[in-house]
Amino acid sequence: MSRMSWPFIAGAFPNICRTEGLYLYDDSGRKILDAAGGAVVTNVGHGRVRVAEAMAAAAIETSYVVPPFQTPSRLALVDILDQDWLPPSLTRAHFASGGTEANEAAMKLALQYQQAIGEHQRIKMVGRSISYHGTTLATASISGHPGRKRGLESALPHYVSVPAPYPLRAPEGLNGASMGQYYVDQMRDVLMAEGPETIAGFIAEPITGSSGGAIVPPEDYWPKVRALCDELGIILILDEVMTGFGRTGLDFGYQHWPIAPDILVSGKGLAGGYAPLGGVFTNERVGSAIESAGYQVMFTTFGAHPSACAAAVEVLNIMREEALVERAATQGAYLHNQLASAFSEHPFVAEVRGRGLLAAIEVVADRSSLARFSIDRGISNQIVAEGLKRDVFYYFGGTGEVRDVVCLGPAFTATNAEIDQMVDILVESVTAAVSSG
Ligand SMILES: Cc1ncc(COP(=O)(O)O)c(C=O)c1O
Whether 122 and 258 share a structural domain: yes
> Of 321, 338, 369, which marks where a domain is finished?
321
Q: Looking at residue 7, what is its pLDDT?
A: 82
pLDDT in tens, 240-254: 999 999 999 999 999
What lines the ligand 1 site, CB under 6 Å? Answer: 39, 98-100, 103, 132-134, 205, 209, 239, 241-242, 267
Question: Which atom of ligand 1 lies at the shortest distance from residue 240's CA?
Answer: 1
Q: Are residues 90 and 224 in the same domain?
A: yes
CB-based contact 434:237 (threshold 8 Å): no
Shared domain for 179 and 268, answered yes or no, is yes
**pLDDT above 90 (res 176):** no
Give, as one character, the DSSP assignment of residue 81.
I
Instruction: Let me know: does 195 contact 120? Beta carbons within 8 Å.
Output: no
CATH of the domain at 191: 3.40.640.10
- 250 and 292 inside one domain: yes
Domain boundary among 291, 306, 321: 321
Name the β-bridge partners of 407: 360, 395
Q: Are 379 and 434 in contact (CB under 8 A)?
A: yes
Rounded CA-CA distance 266/282 in Å is 12
Q: Which atom of ligand 1 is nearest to the CA of 103?
A: 4
DSSP 302-316: TTT-HHHHHHHHHHH
Q: What's the DSSP call for residue 82?
A: I
> Both 151 and 215 in a single domain?
yes
* Under 8 Å between Cβ of 269 and 246: yes
**Substitution candidate for ligand 1 out of 128, 132, 211 with most atoms within 8 A of CB:** 132
Distance separating alpha carbons of residues 127 and 212, to the nearest angstrom? 14
Residues 327 and 314 grouped into a single domain: no
By most ligand atoms within 8 Å of CB, the mutation choice from 131, 242, 265, 266 for ligand 1 is 242
Residue 5 belongs to some domain of the structure: no
What is the number of residues in the chain? 437
Q: pLDDT tens digit string along 398-420?
A: 888 888 999 999 999 999 999 99
Structural contact between residues 63 and 53, judged by C-beta atoms closer than 8 angstroms: no
Q: Which residues touch 356 (CB under 8 Å, ≥6 apart)?
A: 246, 247, 248, 249, 250, 328, 329, 332
- The closest-lying atom of ligand 1 relative to the alpha carbon of residue 205 is 1
**Angstrom distance (rounded) from CA 58 to CA 38:** 25
pLDDT tens sequence across 77-121: 999 999 999 999 999 999 999 999 999 999 999 999 999 999 999
Specify the pLDDT at position 401.
81
Q: Is residue 1 part of a domain?
A: no
- In the predicted model, is pLDDT for residue 12 greater than 90? no
SS3 label, residue 413 = coil
Cα(142)–Cα(111) distance, integer angstroms? 14
* Residue 296 domain flag: yes
Ligand 1, atom 3: closest residue by C-alpha: 133
11 inside domain:
no
2 lies in a domain?
no
Phi, psi (deg, nearest 5) at residue 16: -85, 125
Identify which has the larger pLDDT, 1 or 69: 69
More confident residue, 11 or 198: 198
Give the per-residue pLDDT at 1: 65
Q: Is residue 10 a part of any domain in this protein?
A: no
276-312 as b/e, with b when 16 or more CB fall inside 10 Å? bbbbbbbbeebbebbeeeebebebbebbbbbbbbbbb
Query: In this structure, is residue 6 part of a structural domain?
Result: no
Burial track 415-429 (b if 16+ CB lie within 10 A, e otherwise)? eeebbebbbebbebb
Domain that holds residue 414: 16-47+323-435
- What would the DSSP string read from start to end of 20-77? EBTEEEETT--EEEETTHHHHT-TT-B--HHHHHHHHHHHHH-S---TTS--HHHHHH
DSSP H stretches of helix in 302-415: 306-321, 324-343, 379-389
Cα torsion 96, 97, 99, 104 to 10°: value is -50
CA of 332 to the centre of ligand 1 (A): 21
Residue 365 Cα to ligand 1 middle (Å): 29
Same domain, residue pair 280 and 394: no
Q: What is the pTM (predicted TM-score) of this model?
A: 0.97
36 and 73 in a single domain? The answer is no
Instruction: Check whether residue 341 and residue 362 sit in a common domain.
Output: yes
How much is the mean pLDDT over the chain? Answer: 96
CB neighbours of residue 146 within 10 Å? 13
Q: Are 199 and 191 in contact (CB under 8 A)?
A: yes
Q: Could you tell me if 24 and 160 lie in one domain? A: no
Res 23: pLDDT:
98
The answer on 150 and 65 residing in a single domain is yes
Say yes or no: 302 and 358 in one domain: no
| Tens-place pLDDT, residues 302-340 | 999 999 999 999 999 999 999 999 999 999 999 999 999
Rounded to whole angstroms, the Cα distance separating 158 from 155 reads: 9
What pLDDT is recorded for position 111?
Answer: 98
- pLDDT single digits (tens) 347-385: 999 999 999 999 999 999 999 999 999 989 999 999 999
